[in-house]
Amino acid sequence: MDSINEVTLETVKKATSTLSGHVIRTPIQTCDTLDLLSGRRLFFKCENFQKSGSFKFRGACHALSRLVSANGTTPHRLQVVAGSTGNFACGLAMAAELFGVTAHVVMPNNSPECKRQTALSYGADLTLCEPTAQDIAQTVKQVQDVTGAVFISGGNNPDVISGHGTMGLELLRQVPNLDAVVMPVGTGGMLSGVSVAIKSICPEIRIYGAEPEVANDAAMSLSKGERCTFARFPQSIADGLNGNIGPVPWTYIQSYVDNIFTVSEDEIKNATRLVWEKMKLVVEPSGAVGVAAVLSDSFKAQAGGCRNVAVILSGGNVDLQVDKLSEFL
Amino acid sequence: MDSINEVTLETVKKATSTLSGHVIRTPIQTCDTLDLLSGRRLFFKCENFQKSGSFKFRGACHALSRLVSANGTTPHRLQVVAGSTGNFACGLAMAAELFGVTAHVVMPNNSPECKRQTALSYGADLTLCEPTAQDIAQTVKQVQDVTGAVFISGGNNPDVISGHGTMGLELLRQVPNLDAVVMPVGTGGMLSGVSVAIKSICPEIRIYGAEPEVANDAAMSLSKGERCTFARFPQSIADGLNGNIGPVPWTYIQSYVDNIFTVSEDEIKNATRLVWEKMKLVVEPSGAVGVAAVLSDSFKAQAGGCRNVAVILSGGNVDLQVDKLSEFL
């Protein structure tokens, strides 16, 4: 595979060009109530409107597009496999359907039903496993052994990260006079890609991650100066952020990210509800963690000078069953 | 009051200019899944993003702006009163706060809690009454007698209707090669205003109303050629459409509307859920009735030639309590 080994402004720019016509240039929405509550002007990047319901389609589509190009004209013979808490599986499944590639996806058995159904609806072959990093890796390996599928790491593949970085370039064009960007951190692909893109052009813009307190591997990593991981995934309501930060994103995060704010489960639930109620947007709890961060006391204390703040609403894949919604509504 | 007595393309154009800077020029969203299900290209006008959570702000703000202009420089002495199933009350309350006018609103006691709370949050004085046309009218009269407030009819005031009509002009600019526009019908203010605007410029564009079967006063009126009303409001889950079509809208609807499609409660619930799930938009059941219509068999049978169809998602004010959501999720 003719993969790029680094994520740079150039690889993100190339990804933008490759993805043109495939991804949605998601709109920016604003909300007077949330501006008032946060004490700043917020610009919400609506990746819940992205194809497959989350930003993950960007990276998956980019990686697959490059893989297909490298393999010439027989995409139907290609098979790919990925492990994912859910949204990367959905993104990869949709991109695979687009390119005529067979996708195998491995998801933890506690992932939301809607994410499993979405991956299946795009024709992916789904295998469930225990919600541990080890079991996901082992299951992916087993699928690879049986099928010969090419492994695409949702967390560490530079093509995936460059694809996610395209959001950063869009943000710079969409929001003038940006002071900071806040986004959720799971495996760190979005945070690393977007930070490379934005810091390369506007190093003065602050890049902030937002993470559940109970899944604070990225915050711990940044604080200790070395990558920390959980053996068994935490159980945050922000299910998409329960995975560990990957070694590749970590190198960029270490260089480019100004801070990572952690928020409680209650803060995440409250932020999710606010986005539904005030912005009329269906956002999943993982997608609202950036909102929880900008509403938090620690953000108010530490990001005082930031007037114009972009917040990435990373996805909207949430089980619409009443018993699931009762967790945050 | 220097009110306009007619709704014409000119009054709608003037309203557009008056409302500039006050209302949100709501975006158009598309959805591949709903295109597939409907068999056409759908363009959704997202009035759930409008200020106060529904299109009603347009008409309320326009009428109030004209009232304030006519009264010179003492808006704080002005008082207005309206009866509403909910969203017009919210729109009027927000517009009144904007202009420094005191708003009294009368709502049926079965209106959604969020609509009451929204009206109250903008400082409106709220009176609840029985859910009948007669009791709403009597209660409004009582409030008027006590306060001397100016009555603003959400259904019949031509300034309100011209304000709603601004959506039609926006649609013509936002969606090229439009074949039809489908929108919900409650009191008929939106349908009449939008149809006047669009038919005056592009008479070939078909204008369709969408109405719950159980609240089919507009459909009955169009079929019989005379305005029909319910004495006691029906109990559709599309609570905003339970009111009766007004005599002023009726005159325009009779002239300009090509058809009104009725949909069952199950069709409304299904459409609402689809919009939440596939479009990631919080839309209230009343706001999804147009979606239910374009997915219906009768629409497919009767609107065959319509390729590009705009659907107005009229509002997103829905109680986010689980017991309420369980009605359609």
So what's the ipTM on this one?
0.94
Residues from chain A that touch B49, judged by Cβ atoms under 8 A, are 29, 279-280
Give the per-residue pLDDT at A72. 77
Give the per-residue pLDDT at B322. 86
Q: Is A329 on the interface with B (CB under 8 A)?
A: yes
Give the per-residue pLDDT at B244. 93
Predicted confidence band of residue B25 (pLDDT cuts 50, 70, 90): very high
Chain A residue with minimal CA distance to B324?
A: A322
What's the token pair of residue B126?
Answer: 């709220």
Q: Is B137 on the interface with A (CB under 8 A)?
A: no
SS (H, E, C) A244-306: CCCHHHHHHHHHHCCEEEEECHHHHHHHHHHHHHHHCECCCHHHHHHHHHHHCHHHHHHCCCC
- pLDDT beyond 80 at B73: no
Q: Is B301 on the interface with A (CB under 8 A)?
A: no
Predicted confidence band of residue B94 (pLDDT cuts 50, 70, 90): very high
Predicted confidence band of residue B3 (pLDDT cuts 50, 70, 90): very low
Does the distance separating the beta carbons of B49 and A29 come in below 8 Å? yes
Number of Cβ pairs < 8 A linking chain A and chain B: 51
For residues A64 and A46, what is the distance between their CA atoms, to the nearest angstrom?
23
CB nearest A316 (choices: B48, B280, B325): B280
Between helix A56-70 and helix A87-99 the angle, nearest 10°, is 40
The residue assigned the tokens 């995934």 is A233
For residues A187 and A129, what is the distance between their CA atoms, to the nearest angstrom?
18
Q: Which residues of chain A have pLDDT under 50?
A: 1-3
Q: What pLDDT digit, counting tens, does each position of B31-68 carry?
A: 999 999 999 999 999 999 999 999 999 999 999 999 99
Residues from chain B that touch A48, judged by Cβ atoms under 8 A, are 280
Q: Of A261, A220, A215, A211, whose CA–CA distance to A234 is shortest?
A: A215
Q: What pLDDT digit, counting tens, does each position of B164-198 carry?
A: 999 999 999 999 999 999 999 999 999 999 999 99
Residues from chain B that touch A283, judged by Cβ atoms under 8 A, are 280
For residues B301 and B298, what is the distance between their CA atoms, to the nearest angstrom?
5
Q: Is B321 on the interface with A (CB under 8 A)?
A: yes
- pLDDT beyond 60 at B281: yes
Does the distance separating the beta carbons of A282 and B282 come in below 8 Å? yes
Q: Which of B18-27, B231-240, B263-272 has the lowest mean pLDDT?
A: B231-240
Is pLDDT larger for residue A217 or for residue B1? A217
Residues from chain A that touch B48, judged by Cβ atoms under 8 A, are 280
CA distance B20 to chain A (A): 17
Q: Is B33 on the interface with A (CB under 8 A)?
A: no
When pLDDT is averaged across residues B196-214 and rounded to a whole number, the result is 98
